[in-house]
Amino acid sequence: MQGLTGIEAAAFLEKYGRNELVERKDHPIVKIAKWLISPISLMLFLATVLSFGTGKLFDGYFIIFLIFVNAGVTIWQEAKADHAIEELKEHFRTQTRALRDGSWAPIDSVLLVPGDVIMLEVGNIVPADVTVLEETNFTINEASVTGESLPVEKANGTEAYSGTFVVTGRATAVVKQTGSLTYFGKTLKAGEGIEKRSILEADILRISFFLSALSLTAVVILSIALWLAKAPFLDTLTLDLSLVIAGIPISLPTVMTLIISLGVVELAKKHAVVRRISSLEDLANVNMLLSDKTGTLTRNLIAIERVIAYSVPEDDVLRAAFLAAEEEDHDPINTAIRQKATEHHIDVSGYARERFIPADSTRKRSTTIVSRDGAHIGIEIGAPQVILELGRTDDPEGFLRDVGAAAEGGFRAVAVAMGKVGDGNSERPRIIGILLLSDELRQDTKETLDFLETQGVAVSIVTGDHRAIAERVGGEVGIPKERIHSEVLPKDKLDLVRASIEKGYVVASTGDGINDLPALKTANVGIAVSNAVDALKSTADIILLELGLGVIKDAIIESRKIFQRLWSYSIYRISESFRLIITITILGLIYHTYPLVPVQLILLALLNDLPIISLSYDRVRLAGRPAHINTKDRILRSTLFGTVGVMNSMLLFFLLTHFTSLSWDVIQSIFFLKLTISGHLLIYLAHTEERWWRFLPSTQVIAATTLTQLAGTIIAGLGLFMARTPIVWIIFVWGWAFIWMQIGEWTKTIGRKHIPTPASAA
C-alpha cells in the first residue's frame, strides 16, 4: 500500500483546494449596502433630504442617527451569530491518520486531497468521500446522509461518504473527493440560492408602506390646498416634512429588532441559539413541523425492544447473548445486549469466555465459545436467515413468521442459537430466541409532540428509514400514518417542504444531517438539532443545544410571547401615526400651518419609542394556537384608536385657539404635552384585549412609560426647546388624556368580535 508523497499532496492541495465547505457570505460592506437600499431606508433618507433642504439640520442629523442605529443593531446581531458558528467549526475540526511519504501520521482533515490513503477506526468521522481498500468488521452509521439509523456494512471497494462515522471495525481507504465535490458538498450546493423573507420582515414592510402611503397621500392633498392658497413654498415643504416624519415609522425596524433580540437572549438561556432573529416571529406562526426521526425523535441508540424465546425462559436468551457480547467491541448491538442484560440482572458467574469471533460482512454472525463446569458451549448471534441455516429449530415456519412480523413491525431481528461443542460432542446449535432491536425513543418526545399538537402545530415524520420502522415510531408517539414520510431522499424532503408551503402552511423543518440542508433553507424556520453536522448549523435559523425536541417547546412559547409584543407595538405604532397624519392634515388645511415645530416632532417620536423597548419584558396572553397576522383586525383596531386620538386632538386644539388667550407658542407646548401623554396611555390599551385595568403591563413597561411621561411633562413645564406650559394646563392635559383613554377603551367592544381572545398569560 502506497500513499502520497508530501510533494504530491501539496500539488493536489493547490489543484483541488482545502477539504472544507466554503459558505458563500456577503462582505460586510455588501450587507450594509443591501440594508441601506431597502425600501424603509430609502424612505428615511428622503426624510433626511427634506430636513436638510429646509434648513432643519437637527431633524436631519437625528434621522440619520436612527438609520445607523437600526443598521448597526441588525449587523451586530448577524455578526455575533456568524462568529459563534465559526467558533463552532473550529471546535469540531478533526485530524485523520494518513499515509504520507511511506509512514502513518495524523494530519488536519482540511489538508486531505484525492489520492490520500487514510485509516478509519471506531468513532472516526469520515473526513471525505472515500473508497474502502481493506476492512475488518467495518460498519458505518450513515444517518447524517441517508437517515438510516442502523449501521451499514462496508466491504472492500465500497464507498463511504463525508460526514458519516465508523461504528465498528477498522479500514484503510483512499480519498476520492474532497470539499465541495463530496456528496456532502454537492448537497450543500443544492441549497444555495434559496432565499426567504421572514413573516416579520414582510410585515414591517407592509406597515411601513401603509403608513407611508397614508402620509404621502396627505402630503399631496395638503400641498395642493396650500398651493391654491398661495402659501410660501418653504412653509409648504416644512408641512410636508412634518407629515413625512409623522407618517414614516422611522424607528419601527429598530424597536422590533430590539424586542426580538431581547427575546433571543432569553431563549439562549434555555439552550437554543437563534441565528436569524426574525425567525422567532416566523416560529410563532408555524402550524406544520416536519421532524426527522433518527437522533431527534429517537436517541439514535439501538436498544432491545423485546425478546422472543423458544422453549427457554427469556432470561436464558439474554444470558446467552450477554455471554457473546464482547465488552471491548463497540458494536451498537452488543452494547444494547449488555444494557438489557444489566436491566434484567442477568447472572453469568461460573461462565468463562474461551474464544470470540466477531461478525463480518461474510459470516454475518458472531461466534463465542464459553465454558462452565468443564463443558464447552458455542453461542451464535446474527442474521436470522444465517442462524436458521446454521442451527436447528422445531418450528422453522414459526421462526420465519416471527422474523417477518418483526420486520413489518419496524424492528430489526437478531437470532440467538447455542449448542455443545468440542470433545466429539459437537451439535448443531439450537435456536433459542430472537432479539427485536429498535432505535429508542427519547423520553421527552411524546410529551413534546403532544404539546405541539395542542398548540395547533401538525407534526409529520420525515425519515430515510424503512416504512415499517417509521410507522412503529409514529404509532408510539401518536402521529397518524398519513403524516409519516419514509425512505425520503434529500430532494423528496425539499419537495415536501415546498408543497406544504404552497398549501398555505407555515413550515418548520428539523434536521441533523447534510441531507436535510436544502429543506431547512427552504422552510420558513430551519431547525438544526444539537447533534447536527456543522454545515447544517451554519445555515439553520435556530440551533438546539440539547438533544431531542424538548427545547422546541420553549422556543414556541418564547416566539409567541415575542409575537404578541410585536402585535401590540404594531397596533400602537399604526394608531399613533394615523392620529398624527390625520391631525396634521386637517389642521394644516384649516390654519395653513402646523401646531408643532420640527424639534417637537422629533422629541415626540423619541419619547414615544423609548418606552416601547420595555415591551420586550411585557406580560402577554398566549393564544394556545399559531399566531397569525390578521391585517383586517389590526387595521380596524388601529383605526378605532387613531380616530379617537384625532377627535380629542382636534377638540383640544379648537378649545385652545377659540376659548383661551394663550399665545401660539404656549398652545404648541400644551399640544405637544397632550400628544406625549395620550400616546403613552395608548400603550395600556393596545397591550391587551381585556379592560386595561384588568391586565396591566409588566412593571418594566409601567416604569418606562411613567418616566417618559414625566420627562415630557418636565420639558413642557420648564420650557425646554419650547415655550413654558403653565402648571394649571399641565394638570388639565393629564385629566383630558385620561378621560379620552376610557373612550379609547370603549372602542375595543366594536372590534372584539373580530379579534380572537387569547387563552393564557405568560
* Amino acid at residue number 49: V
Q: Is the pLDDT of residue 122 over 80?
A: no
How confident is the model at residue 92, as a pLDDT? 45
Checking if the pLDDT of 108 tops 60, the result is: yes
What pLDDT shows up at residue 556? Answer: 80
What CATH number is associated with residue 605? 1.20.1110.10
Reported as a pLDDT band with limits 50, 70 and 90, residue 198 is: low
pLDDT digits (tens, 9 = 90+) for 201-233: 666 667 777 777 888 888 888 888 878 877 777
CA distance 611 to 709: 10
- Whether residue 604 is found in the same domain as residue 750: yes
**Is residue 372 a part of any domain in this protein?**
yes
* Distance of alpha carbon 559 from alpha carbon 277, whole angstroms: 10
pLDDT of residue 250: 60
User: So what's the pLDDT on residue 421?
Assistant: 87
Q: How confident is the model at residue 11 (pLDDT cuts 50, 70, 90)?
A: very high
Contacts of 241 (CB under 8 A, 6+ apart): 47, 50, 51, 54, 56, 59, 598
Quickly state the pLDDT bin for 320 (edges 50, 70, 90).
Answer: very high
Rounded Cα gap, residues 579 and 737, in angstroms: 14
| Residues 619 and 727 grouped into a single domain | yes
What pLDDT is attached to residue 758? 38
- Identify the band that residue 29 occupies on the pLDDT scale cut at 50, 70 and 90: confident
Q: Is the pLDDT of residue 329 over 70?
A: no
Tell whether 576 and 658 lie within a shared domain.
Answer: yes
Examine the domain organization and report whether 255 and 356 are in the same domain: no
- Residue 508's H or E segment, with its range, is strand 507-511
CA within 13 Å, CB half, 470: 22
**Mean pLDDT, rounded, of the chain:** 80
Nearest to 198 by CA among 267, 154, 257: 257
For residues 730 and 603, state if they share a domain: yes
Domain co-membership, 690 together with 644: yes
342, containing H or E segment:
helix 332-343
Domain shared by 263 and 326, yes or no: no
With cut-offs at 50, 70 and 90, classify the pLDDT of residue 119.
very high
Name 583's Cβ contacts closer than 8 Å, sequence gap at least 6. Answer: 645, 646, 649, 650, 653
Interval 412-429: pLDDT, tens? 899 999 998 876 666 789
Instruction: Give me the pLDDT at residue 754, please.
Output: 46
Asked, for residue 4, whether it belongs to a domain, the answer is no
Instruction: Give the integer Cα–Cα distance in Å for 245 and 598.
Output: 9
Judge whether 609 counts as a catalytic residue: no
The answer, yes or no, to whether residue 51 has pLDDT greater than 90, is no
pLDDT value at residue 138: 87
Which residue, of 394, 425, 441, is where some domain finishes?
Answer: 441
Q: Note whether residue 314 is domain-resident.
A: yes
For residue 315, pLDDT over 80 is answered with yes
Domains in the chain, number: 2
Of 297 and 321, more confident:
321
- Output the pLDDT for position 734: 95
Q: How confident is the model at residue 139 (pLDDT cuts 50, 70, 90)?
A: confident
Q: Which of 441, 475, 495 is the last residue of a domain?
A: 441
Q: Which of 53-62, 87-96, 515-524, 711-720 has the highest mean pLDDT?
A: 711-720
Whether residue 708 is contained in a domain is answered as yes
Evaluate if residue 194 carries a pLDDT over 60. no
- Cα–Cα dist 454/557, whole Å: 12
Grid cell of 209 as nine digits: 408602506
Which one has a higher pLDDT value, 761 or 240?
240
Would the pLDDT of 149 be above 60? no
Residues 563 and 623 in one domain: yes
| pLDDT (mean) for 309-328 | 88
In terms of domains, do 306 and 264 share one?
no
User: Domain for residue 522, yes or no?
Assistant: no
Query: What per-residue confidence (pLDDT) applies to 113?
Result: 93
From 292, 465, 512, 618, active-site residue: 292
Residue 458: CB atoms within 10 Å: 16
Helix (H) or strand (E) holding 460: strand 458-462
pLDDT reading at 430 higher than 90: yes
- At 326 the pLDDT is 73
Point out the least confidently predicted range of 19-33, 363-377, 465-479: 19-33
Domain boundary among 408, 441, 474: 441
Angle value at C-alpha 524, between 203 and 621, nearest 5 degrees: 60
CA angle 338, 343, 344 (to 5 degrees): 100
Grid coordinates in use for 612?
416601547
Residue 315: give its domain's CATH number. 3.40.1110.10
**Distance from C-alpha of 571 to C-alpha of 249, rounded to nearest angstrom:** 12
Residue 532 in this model has a pLDDT that exceeds 90: no
Over residues 603-625, the mean pLDDT reads 73
- Pick 88 or 367 by higher pLDDT: 367
Q: Which of 460, 540, 536 is nearest to 289 (CA)?
A: 460
Q: Are 123 and 136 in contact (CB under 8 A)?
A: no
Question: Band of the pLDDT at 757, cuts 50, 70, 90?
Answer: very low
Least confident residue range of 141-150, 302-311, 738-747: 141-150
Confidence label for 761 from pLDDT (cuts 50, 70 and 90): very low
Rounded to 5°, angle at Cα 137 from 134 and 142: 90
pLDDT of residue 299: 79
Band of residue 464 on the pLDDT scale cut at 50, 70, 90 = confident
The verdict on residue 9 lying in a domain is no
Condensed to tens digits (0 to 9), the pLDDT of residues 438-457 reads 888 888 888 888 888 888 88
Helix (H), strand (E), coil (C) string for 205-236 = HHHHHHHHHHHHHHHHHHHHHHHHCCCCHHHH
Question: Domain span at residue 328?
Answer: 299-441
What is the tens place of the pLDDT at every residue in 235-292?
677 667 666 766 666 666 666 666 776 777 777 777 788 877 667 777 888 889 998 8
* Mean pLDDT score, 688-710: 88
Residue 305 sits in the same domain as residue 266:
no
The pLDDT of residue 674: 92
Question: Are 697 and 577 in a shared domain?
Answer: yes
Residue 134 in domain = no
pLDDT at 169 over 80: yes
Q: What pTM does this model have? A: 0.62
DSSP state of 4: B
Q: Quick one: what percent of the chain has pLDDT higher than 70? A: 79
78: pLDDT strictly greater than 80 = no
Average pLDDT over residues 607-615: 73
**Phi/psi of residue 207, nearest 5 degrees:** -65, -45
DSSP string, 52-104: HHTT-HHHHHHHHHHHHHHHHHHHHHHHHHHHHHHHHHHHT--EEEEEETTEE
214 and 336 part of one domain:
no
- How much of the chain, in percent, has pLDDT values that exceed 90? 22
The segment with the largest mean pLDDT, out of 261-275, 351-365, 445-459, 507-521, is 445-459
Single out the residue of 690, 701, 687 nearest to residue 757, CA to CA. 690
Q: Could you tell me if residue 10 is inside a domain? A: no
